[in-house]
Amino acid sequence: MIGVGTFRVNGMSTNYNVLLVEDLEDDVFLFRKALGALPGFKLAGCAGTGEAAIAYLTGEAEFGDRQQYPWPDIMVLDLKLPGKDGFEVLEWLRKRARRPRVGVFTSSDLPEDKQKADRLGADLYEVKTYEREQFGKFMHWLARLVDEDQKGKNEFKNALIGGVLIEVLGRCA
């Protein structure tokens, strides 16, 4: 059995890369500690502002080295950030073809914040807690969404017929 947070690609186990977008050092510390207790997750990077998160995702400046700053499968996003806030990051992501799964992890329990985050494309919304079981469930559901994305990609098989590349749905083959 594969542990929570691990999926297989071509028979090999792979960790989920997580980008944390959080400005409060105490919360970064607690997140690192909580994530470290979950198998299969790797903190790929931290961004303290919305601008830094966008730079990370676009590979600008130092974030251009994807060996050191790998593409995240999951982005855990706080809403209350200096500069561009979490809502502005979500708005920016809506215009992108490629995006990680996004879990909003915030201190706000306001229904209007949850509705706005949902409208802007957040995949999950969780009021901050580092209680092991609740945090584990939050990360587990984000991992399941990534797994579904991966499963969808793997349903296509490529076939070369007469020099033409044909994509065939796996269930039809």
pLDDT tens for 25-80 read: 999 999 999 998 888 899 999 999 999 999 999 999 889 999 999 999 999 999 99
DSSP SS3 for 136: helix
Indicate the pTM of the whole model. 0.80
Let me know if residue 120 belongs to a domain.
Answer: yes
Which CATH number belongs to the domain containing residue 149 in this structure? Answer: 3.40.50.2300
Residues 6+ apart with CB under 8 A from 44: 17, 18, 19, 69, 70, 71, 72
Let me know if residue 96 belongs to a domain.
Answer: yes
Let me know if residue 29 belongs to a domain.
Answer: yes
Q: How far apart are CA 98 and CA 87, in angstroms?
A: 18
Q: How many domains does the chain have?
A: 1
Q: Are 143 and 164 in contact (CB under 8 A)?
A: no
**85-118 pLDDT, tens digit each:** 999 999 999 999 899 999 999 999 999 999 999 9
Q: How far apart are CA 107 and CA 109, in angstroms?
A: 6
Q: What range does the domain containing 166 cover?
A: 6-172
Let me know if residue 1 belongs to a domain.
Answer: no
| Cα angle value 156/66/44 (rounded, 5°) | 90
Please give the radius of gyration of the chain, using alpha carbons only, rounded to the nearest integer: 17
Other CB atoms within a 10 A radius of the CB of residue 97 amount to: 4
Let me know if residue 159 belongs to a domain.
Answer: yes
